[in-house]
Amino acid sequence: MYFTNKLILNDTKNFFTKNFGTILLISIFSALVAIIINYFIAPDYRKLNIFYELDKYNAGYLFNKIQNMHFSEQKILFRTLFAKIFSYLIGNTILLIGIIGFLEFIFLNKLDSWKKKIHKMIIFFPNLLLLVIILTVIIQFGSMIFIIPGLFISSLLSLSPIILFIEEKNVIFSIKKSINLTFKNMKFILPSIIFWMFSKMLILIVSLISHIIIPPYLNIFLLYGINNILLSILIIYLFRFYVLVIIKDKNFL
Question: So what's the pLDDT on residue 208?
Answer: 75
Average pLDDT, the chain: 81
pTM: 0.84
Distance in angstroms (rounded) separating the CA atoms of residues 121 and 102: 10
CB atoms within 10 A of CB 243: 19
User: Which tens digits make up the pLDDT trace of 23-81?
Assistant: 999 999 999 998 888 877 766 554 544 444 444 444 445 556 666 666 666 676 777 77
Distance in angstroms (rounded) separating the CA atoms of residues 193 and 140: 14
Please give the radius of gyration of the chain, using alpha carbons only, rounded to the nearest integer. Answer: 20
Contact 228, 31 (CB under 8 A): yes
Residues in Cβ contact with 150 at an 8 Å cutoff, skipping those fewer than 6 apart:
139, 140, 142, 143, 144
Distance of CA 62 to the CA centre of its chain: 28
Crossing angle for the helix pair 186-210 and 5-18, to the nearest 10 degrees: 50
SS3 content of the chain, % helix, strand, coil (to 5): 90, 0, 10
Q: Tell me the mean pLDDT in the region 111-140.
A: 83
Q: Tell me the mean pLDDT in the region 83-98.
A: 90
How many Cα atoms sit within 13 Å of 92 on the Cβ side?
21
- For residue 44, give the DSSP letter: P
User: Which tens digits make up the pLDDT trace of 132-144?
Assistant: 999 888 877 766 6
Distance in angstroms (rounded) separating the CA atoms of residues 117 and 131: 20
CB atoms within 10 A of CB 33: 17
CB atoms within 10 A of CB 124: 19
